[in-house]
Structure 1
Amino acid sequence: MLKSEQPRYYASTQYILPADQAETARLNEQHIIILKAFENRLFLAPLNLNTGDRVLESAAGSGIWAVEFAEANHVNGNEVEIECIDISSKQFPTTPGPPHVHFSIHSVTSLPLEWVNTFSYIHQRFVVLALNDSLWRSSIKELFRVLKLGGWIELVELETKRLHSNLGPCTDKLCSWVDKLYAEKGIIQDISVYLCPILEEAGFIDVHCETREVPVGGLVKQVGNGYTGEHCGKVCMAMKEFLINKGVSDFVTEKEFDELVEGAVPEWNNSKDAYVRYYTIFAQKPVFS
């Protein structure tokens, strides 16, 4: 059963996924899937970092990416300083990690003033479900400000536009509610089409976008990577607070919602067509500004 007896913790009324240990476990699973989708590369930008360079990971969550990035640089003889930020400390690790990885509470829409021209590389992943147009524009301007001249930014995001239909009645109903929630929150669809010009408007150059499609359900074993129906069910359960209490789901009861998600899981698992689309978008701050 996917039902959780524990109340979920949400760090923001804008961000529709929780910031708790259950969500941390799901995100750590997702990290492995995304890494495989991008050929086991932690980054795609053409980096040339040296010992002492500072790196910012925005929306760090548990810091799993930052820890692996620090370890990979250590193996190569570089000791980079990584600042991991998030709007909540709930998902920060409770045990000490690499000495050059630091965690602090900050919003990407309002970074410390003293960080101007500080970081040689910025990595951010999966904030599309937290930002509307205004917040995206504020965050990109802030990231441009704190990036060093010649530094690189890398944004990893998922497509929120529905990519498939007719997977089954439970899935179609859930997706219609999710679409309504996205519209209510101002969540951006066609995220790659949206983000690339926003980066250029902020002053970034050499903008690149790479796309990967990750299967859901029936093709996962064949491909060797992807999401099970159960993982997708966890995502829906994580959104339950917003989907059943905010008026987008026709005021169903919690029991009805749980049964609907349980019904959707085998529909996803039996599908040969469902997939999730991811983008890695990277760009450079000009050497001369």
Structure 2
Amino acid sequence: MTEQNQQRYYASEHYYLPADETEAARLNLQHSVVIEAFDNRLSLASLELKSGDRVLESAAGTGVWALEFFEENKIKGIVLDIECFDISDKQFPKTHPTNMHFSLHSATDLPAEWASTFAYVHQRLLVGAMNDTRWHKVISELHRVLIPGGWVELVEVDADEGHYDVGPASTKLKFIQTNLHRERGVIRNPNIYLPPLLKEIGFVDVQCEVRHSPIGKSPERGFPADKWAEYWRGLKPTIINADGYGFVKSGDEYEELVSEAVIEWKNSDKAFHGYCTVLGRKP
């Protein structure tokens, strides 16, 4: 059985990407891509952390950001207590420092005992599971668990900032994704949507930075086309269940479309991803 035809594991009906080893590898690569886009910085927040401070990684996935953030601070002599959670444990690291903890929770409903306990909350790449209602719940929960003066940092794909429709196949994929987002109420422009929401919930010093990252053409930077195709293949069950949104009629036809798009991305220097980082401080 080829990798493309293997049964994928999906942890939630709200989040349309899988939670398995193939996706874990893609997420770890995307971690490097995102960090690179933001000047090789794990955080843009104005942090003054000290040993013993509690840090929360929301929707931790593989935990790669938390592992690197822990080590980066340890080198500075700061030993943090980092709590990582996700709705699935299938991508959690098998080993990690004893000051890091992994648990199963939803970002829309965090434990009551976490109230006002974290000095910093980091969340990344959750936009695909979010509509307006869920965003309000998540931001309210993150505000609740922060201590006064604590920072939240949200790092997201910004679909409206990206440009990857560089040929007929990739243009069809963009239309498919747009229809998927519209059907599910996904917020495609978090750089515009999130800052006012943070202010509404009660955050101050709200900031936003947008960066672009190449796709396909420059192997030393951004996402190689073959690797970015894994994102699209992870969407296949959702898209086929929606009758291909009128663009494809079968899984094989969809796979062929993705393969054609890969060729377009490899032969173009115009395709890029959009990312945004949104920051806010709890007064």
Asked whether the two chains share a fold, i.e. TM above 0.5, the reply is yes
Relative to the length of structure 2, the TM-score reads 0.96
User: Are the equivalent residues in 2 in contact too, given 1:33–1:225 (CA < 8 A)?
Assistant: yes
Counterpart residue number, 1:190? 189
Counterpart residue number, 1:174? 173
Relative to the length of structure 1, the TM-score reads 0.94
Counterpart residue number, 2:125? 126
SS across alignment from 1:200: helix
Counterpart residue number, 1:236? 232
Describe the shift of the 1:248–1:150 C-alpha distance in structure 2 as closer, same or farther (beyond 3 A).
Answer: same
Counterpart residue number, 2:18? 18
User: Are the equivalent residues in 2 in contact too, given 1:56–1:122 (CA < 8 A)?
Assistant: yes
Letter in 2 for 1:161: D
Q: Deviations over 1:44-83 (max 9, x none)?
A: 1010111110000001001000011111111111111000
Between the aligned partners of 1:165 and 1:70, the Cα distance in structure 2 is 34
The alpha-carbon deviation at position 247 of structure 1 amounts to 2.6
Letter in 1 for 2:239: L
Equivalent residue in structure 1 for 2:265, among 255, 268, 271: 268
User: Are the equivalent residues in 2 in contact too, given 1:49–1:120 (CA < 8 A)?
Assistant: yes
Counterpart residue number, 2:209? 210
User: Are the equivalent residues in 1 in contact too, given 2:164–2:265 (CA < 8 A)?
Assistant: no
Q: Deviations over 1:185-207 (max 9, x none)?
A: 11002211100000000000001
Letter in 1 for 2:230: K
The alpha-carbon deviation at position 166 of structure 1 amounts to 5.2
Between the aligned partners of 1:51 and 1:205, the Cα distance in structure 2 is 25
Between the aligned partners of 1:149 and 1:114, the Cα distance in structure 2 is 16
The alpha-carbon deviation at position 246 of structure 1 amounts to 2.0
User: Gaps spanning 5+ residues in structure 1: where?
Assistant: none
Alignment of 1:158-173 (within 5 A): 158-161=157-160, 163-164=162-163, 167-173=166-172
User: Are the equivalent residues in 2 in contact too, given 1:181–1:248 (CA < 8 A)?
Assistant: no
Deviates more, 1:190-199 or 1:168-177: 168-177
Equivalent residue in structure 2 for 1:282, among 262, 279, 283: 279
User: Gaps spanning 5+ residues in structure 2: where?
Assistant: none
SS across alignment from 1:79: coil
Q: Deviations over 1:74-109 (max 9, x none)?
A: 111111100001011111112x21111110000010
Deviates more, 1:103-112 or 1:163-172: 163-172
Q: Deviations over 1:115-141 (max 9, x none)?
A: 110100000000000111000000000
Counterpart residue number, 1:45? 45
SS across alignment from 2:121: strand
Q: What is the identity percentage for the equivalent residue pairs of Structure 1 and Structure 2?
A: 47
Q: Is it true that 1:226 corresponds to 2:225 in the alignment?
A: no
Following TM superposition, where does structure 1 have runs of at least 4 consecutive aligned residues deviating by more than 3 angstroms?
A: 162-166
Alignment RMSD, CA only? 1.4
Q: How many equivalent residue pairs?
A: 281
Letter in 1 for 2:215: V
Between the aligned partners of 2:71 and 2:161, the Cα distance in structure 1 is 36
